[in-house]
Amino acid sequence: MQRLLYILMIGILCYSCDDGDVFEVTLEFDDTFETCGSLVLFKTKDSPPESLSIQLQGRTIDEFLEVGDDNVFTQTYEFSSNSNAFNYRTYSTAPDPDFVFCNDIPPANIDIIVDSESSSGTATVTTILVEDDDDGIPADLEGRGAQAEDGSYPDAIDTDNDGIPNYLDVDDDGDNVLTTAENPEYTEEDGLANAQDTDNDGIPDYLDNDDDDDGIPTRDEESINADNNPLNDVTNPDIGADYLNDEVMISVPATAFIEHPIQQTYTISIFVENIQIPNLTQDELDFGTLNDSSITNDTRIGEPVFN
């Protein structure tokens, strides 16, 4: 009799382990997420077919890009039954994000096995904006200096005094020739040791407003095409543009600066806390960073002061 009772107890335990209501879930997804629609943020995987999603009511992705003076945006959103939501779902087959999350009316043939919504918790969104002139020279080597508490760089060097510091300036010396066109020749091994210096005065061309040392500012050497572009004024093709030829000393004063685009990169990340989903083994989650270059990459035009 005792042996039979033992066998029955083992059977009951085995049955409980197979019961679909008794399971544990650990959220293991890639470290990026996507977005679409009325601010649905989601991530999916094929094996096993699962998804995580965050829906923030009355919000837009543009809100995340409204960084402050310190180039940072941060906001915490609470999940509730009638507002923002955090969902974990499983499917019979791998979910297609375009159909599951990016349609106003999802197709009827989506086979969702488990759809669990957190009864509480928060999602903290943090955006960090990094700006750069994309000239191939690291910002720290362009005199950016130390960062202040407000996120600014008060000691940043501005060689041409145009109001745009060198680390954001596509034309550091204000000669209307892009820094990249003046061959700074930066490498990790040699730094800027091999930067082009046409007149050998110890000042590399990208910081020298008179590259050939003929007394005429580079941006004013436009005797052929007065279009604020010294690159296309060439008297002697064997030497190159007139601003590199110290035998040509004709001055046609420039009237404006060339356009100054500044590259912007936004890193949008989300951290979820106090998750309350049945059988979930964790209560917080690094949701990852947004993977959408059409949102996270942008360009603004700097407004240099012509002098």
Q: How many residues does the chain have?
A: 307
111 residue type, one letter: D
User: How far does CA 25 lie from the centroid of its chain?
Assistant: 32
- Rounded to 5 degrees, what angle do the CA atoms 293, 298, 299 make? 155
| DSSP conformation letters of 89-154 | EEESS---HHHHTSSSS--TT--EEEEEE-SS-EEEEEEEEEEE--SSS-GGGGT--PPPTTS--T
In angstroms, the CA 180 to CA 133 distance is 10
- pLDDT tens string, the chain, 307 residues long: the values are 333 333 333 343 343 444 444 446 678 899 999 998 778 999 998 888 999 999 998 899 999 999 999 999 999 999 987 789 999 999 988 877 777 787 665 556 678 898 899 989 999 999 999 999 999 999 999 999 999 988 899 999 999 999 999 999 999 999 999 999 999 999 999 999 999 999 999 999 999 999 999 999 999 999 999 999 999 999 999 999 999 999 999 999 999 999 999 999 999 999 999 999 888 888 999 999 999 999 999 999 999 998 8
Contact 141, 176 (CB under 8 A): no
Could you give the dihedral angle defined by the CA atoms of residues 44, 46, 48 and 51, in that order, rounded to the nearest 10 degrees? 10
> Both ends of the chain: CA-CA distance in Å?
102
d(CA 162, CA 18): 72
CA 41-45-49 angle, to 5 degrees, is 115
pTM value surpassing 0.75? yes
Q: Residue 220: phi, psi to the nearest 5? A: -100, 0
Largest CA distance in the chain: 114
